[in-house]
A and B are shown apart, each in its own frame.
Chain A
């Protein structure tokens, strides 16, 4: 079974631009969560989608948004990029409510110049 895939793997943007990251969960998984990893703040939960609905959200500004499609693929968008948005963005999939384990993708490394 293929794992979680994320595209692109690396991205360089400049301040003020916007970016869209994509995540395809493990086949059959319906829940997708997004996390940001930085050296200073560590791993932080962004939001979680299940059946195209945002079910849970972390403490991030409104510049961070996401959506999920009917095939469970998810996208995350960051608008008006700031230098501090440079991070590894990880996507995790699970079977959904009550499902125990979250499986993480390889991540997208975003650099904001």
Chain B
């Protein structure tokens, strides 16, 4: 059974600081996703990482993937209040039927950035 673990689950930090969210998964996978969710809202796609060593950056967020360690990180640089949200990583499980993969999600990291 594929398991995805995120840590920390809760993070309170000050504006201007840097921090990293970690995502470990238990079996091989070929896709790693990061999503953002604001309270009462749906999921917004941030990054899709497809290969070992992949690194993607958007603004103050940078995601990386190490498939050998089964680890992805989401790094926040010089945090601002607007980045306060819950961040989920998700791993795609390959379907032998060839269909789109059901995603297995981590429990999410609730991030609060204080002025």
Contacts and interface: CB of A to CB of B under 8 A. Distances in A.
B65 interface: no
Interface residues of B, number: 25
Contacts of A99: 100
B99 A56 contact: yes
Contacts of B101: 48, 56
A64 interface: no
B75 interface: no
A56 B42 contact: no
Closest 3 CB pairs of A and B: A55-B99, A45-B102, A43-B105
Given A55-B100, A94-B100, A104-B35, 17 more contacts: A31-B100, A42-B105, A44-B105, A45-B103, A45-B104, A48-B95, A48-B99, A55-B98, A56-B95, A56-B99, A97-B98, A99-B100, A101-B48, A102-B33, A104-B42, A104-B45, A106-B41
Interface of B: 31, 33, 35, 41-45, 48, 50, 88, 90, 95, 97-108
